[in-house]
């Protein structure tokens, strides 16, 4: 199987999924962060689940928390920012529990403030967190940060599940729009040995590049309204890769001009389904798969094939 047409076709398919994934991953991050503001909405949902079951000064603890100056300064009029630093969360909680304390707050001040809160879920949680702090305010603050970080881990899971659904939608649009029929692509690669060799060669070059990334980062925790999409040079498609996609993808003519358009749609549907699911997994996933297949292919070569034919050195 090593170096066989079957393996080369598999490498070609994975390479195409990788290139299309590069197009989709960054688009998905920008869509979720800037247009749909899914990160912001997910954080709001998480904070509500944590803080709403607690009364505070005639409103819910969540409502009062949203109005706290530290939180309000990063909200800037929106329901919730996309990111809230654990230190900001902890400081706001500490201040809300001791509203009448001016200047430095001690552990005793914090403990008394928590005990004076109305009965509710937040009070119960804080009492438990203080009980394990051993009278140390810094330890108590660290416990609250851990409590918040555990919530963010759950929120991250909520976000990823929703983000995957959007990723499938974007991948479907790209796959259908470019006619990235996985079955048709595999057939072209199987039937055309020259094209297959070109694809494998370009795939090897891509596998030697840095791993692609397209994730939103919050470099400044005090400015959560300005996230950056962290990318690297490996995210861009080269001109050769764009031309290669042009050979493997695309429509010969608009589908509505076909004699039987519905039959044509049915013919492509299985390949589109495979392609959409594959591309939605993202470029980083397919980059890892591609490297494994390239290593598998190279492992089966004879040394002369893997390193190139070696000429004997001339006699001295």
Residues 286 and 11: their CA atoms lie apart, in Å, by 10
> Which segment of 47-61, 175-189, 257-271 scores lowest on mean pLDDT?
257-271
Helices (H), 33-120: 38-51, 61-67, 69-75, 86-97, 107-115
Residues 201 and 181: their CA atoms lie apart, in Å, by 22
Report pLDDT for 222. Answer: 43
Tokens 């706290």, located at residue: 68
Query: What confidence tens digit (pLDDT) does each residue in 281-295 have?
Result: 888 899 999 999 999
- Whether 198 has a pLDDT exceeding 80, the answer reads yes
Task: Tell me which of 154, 179, 202 is where a domain ends.
Answer: 154
Please indicate, yes or no, whether residues 239 and 92 belong to a single structural domain of this protein: no
> Please, are residues 202 and 244 in contact by the beta-carbon 8 Å criterion?
yes
Buried b (16+ CB within 10 A) or exposed e, 229-248: bebeeebebeeebeebbeeb
Please indicate, yes or no, whether residues 225 and 287 belong to a single structural domain of this protein: yes
Please indicate, yes or no, whether residues 11 and 160 belong to a single structural domain of this protein: yes
Q: What are phi and psi of 44, to 5 degrees?
A: -60, -45
Dihedral sign of CA atoms 55, 148, 167, 278 in order: negative
Task: Tell me the average pLDDT across 232-254.
Answer: 82
**Residue 312, in any domain of the structure:** no
> Please, are residues 200 and 28 in contact by the beta-carbon 8 Å criterion?
no
Residues 133 and 90: their CA atoms lie apart, in Å, by 14
**Residue 167, in any domain of the structure:** yes
**Residue 178, in any domain of the structure:** yes
Tokens standing for residue 188: 């072209």
Q: Bigger pLDDT: 137 or 242?
A: 137
Residue 223 pLDDT level (bands cut at 50, 70, 90):
very low
> Which segment of 11-25, 132-146, 201-215, 265-279 scores lowest on mean pLDDT?
201-215
- Whether 71 has a pLDDT exceeding 70, the answer reads yes
Report pLDDT for 298. Answer: 84
> Which segment of 79-88, 90-99, 100-109, 272-281 scores lowest on mean pLDDT?
79-88
Q: What's the domain count of the chain?
A: 2
**Residue 58, in any domain of the structure:** yes
Strand, coil or helix: 118: coil
- What range does the domain containing 216 cover? 5-37+156-302
Please indicate, yes or no, whether residues 193 and 52 belong to a single structural domain of this protein: no
**Residue 282, in any domain of the structure:** yes
> Which segment of 140-144, 225-229, 251-255 scores lowest on mean pLDDT?
225-229
Please indicate, yes or no, whether residues 92 and 136 belong to a single structural domain of this protein: yes
Percent of the chain clearing pLDDT 70 (strictly above): 82
> How many degrees, rounded to 5, is the angle at CA 91 between CA 65 and CA 152?
70
**Residues with Cβ within 8 Å of residue 180, at least 6 apart in sequence:** 16, 20, 174, 249, 271, 272, 275, 279
Task: Tell me which of 101, 120, 154 is where a domain ends.
Answer: 154
> Which segment of 31-45, 139-153, 202-216, 242-256 scores lowest on mean pLDDT?
31-45
Tokens standing for residue 74: 């990063």
**What is the DSSP-derived secondary structure letter of residue 212?**
P
Please indicate, yes or no, whether residues 164 and 298 belong to a single structural domain of this protein: yes
> Please, are residues 178 and 20 in contact by the beta-carbon 8 Å criterion?
yes
Task: Tell me the average pLDDT across 136-156.
Answer: 93
**Residues with Cβ within 8 Å of residue 311, at least 6 apart in sequence:** none
**Residue 289, in any domain of the structure:** yes
Please indicate, yes or no, whether residues 161 and 32 belong to a single structural domain of this protein: yes
Please indicate, yes or no, whether residues 91 and 180 belong to a single structural domain of this protein: no
- Whether 225 has a pLDDT exceeding 50, the answer reads no
CB count, 10 Å around CB of 111?
Answer: 20
Task: Tell me which of 96, 121, 154 is where a domain ends.
Answer: 154
**Residue 249, in any domain of the structure:** yes
The secondary element (H helix, E strand) that includes residue 220 is none
Tokens 């980083």, located at residue: 284
Q: What are phi and psi of 14, to 5 degrees?
A: -60, -40
Residue 189 pLDDT level (bands cut at 50, 70, 90):
very high
**What is the DSSP-derived secondary structure letter of residue 282?**
-
Residues 167 and 280: their CA atoms lie apart, in Å, by 5
Please indicate, yes or no, whether residues 121 and 270 belong to a single structural domain of this protein: no
Please indicate, yes or no, whether residues 192 and 138 belong to a single structural domain of this protein: no
**In Å, how far from its chain's centre is CA 78?**
23
Q: Bigger pLDDT: 261 or 76?
A: 261
Please indicate, yes or no, whether residues 216 and 137 belong to a single structural domain of this protein: no
> Please, are residues 179 and 250 in contact by the beta-carbon 8 Å criterion?
yes
**In Å, how far from its chain's centre is CA 35?**
16
Please indicate, yes or no, whether residues 146 and 160 belong to a single structural domain of this protein: no
**Residue 311, in any domain of the structure:** no
Task: Tell me the average pLDDT across 82-106.
Answer: 91
Query: What confidence tens digit (pLDDT) does each residue in 12-28 have?
Result: 999 999 999 988 876 77
């Amino acid at each position: 199987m090593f170096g066989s047409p079957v393996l080369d076709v598999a490498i070609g398919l994975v390479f195409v999924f990788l290139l299309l994934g590069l197009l989709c991953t960054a688009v998905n991050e920008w869509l979720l962060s800037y247009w749909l503001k899914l990160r912001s909405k997910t954080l709001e949902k998480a904070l509500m689940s944590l803080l709403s079951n607690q009364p505070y000064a005639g409103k819910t603890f969540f409502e009062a928390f949203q109005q706290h100056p530290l939180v309000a300064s990063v909200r800037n009029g929106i329901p919730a920012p996309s990111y809230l630093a654990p230190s900001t969360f902890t400081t706001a909680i500490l201040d809300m529990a001791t509203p009448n304390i001016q200047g430095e707050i001690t552990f005793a001040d914090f403990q008394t403030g928590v005990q004076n809160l109305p009965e509710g879920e937040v009070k119960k949680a804080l009492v438990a967190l203080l009980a394990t702090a051993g009278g140390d305010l810094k330890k108590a603050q660290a416990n609250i940060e851990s409590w918040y970080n555990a919530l963010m881990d759950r929120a991250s899971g909520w976000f990823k599940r929703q983000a995957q659904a959007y990723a499938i939608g974007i991948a479907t649009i790209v796959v259908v729009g470019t006619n990235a029929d996985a079955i048709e692509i595999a057939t072209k690669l199987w039937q055309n040995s020259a094209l297959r060799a070109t694809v494998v060669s370009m795939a090897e070059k891509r596998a030697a590049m840095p791993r692609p990334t397209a994730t939103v980062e919050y470099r400044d925790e005090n400015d959560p309204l300005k996230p950056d999409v962290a990318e690297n040079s490996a995210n861009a498609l080269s001109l050769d890769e764009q031309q290669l996609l042009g050979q493997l993808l695309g429509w010969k003519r608009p589908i509505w001009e076909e004699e039987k358009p519905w039959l044509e749609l049915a013919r492509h549907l299985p390949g589109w389904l495979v392609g959409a699911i594959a591309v939605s997994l993202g470029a980083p996933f397919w980059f890892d798969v591609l490297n494994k297949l390239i290593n598998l292919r190279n492992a089966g070569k004879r040394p002369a094939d893997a390193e190139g034919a070696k000429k004997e050195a001339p006699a001295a």
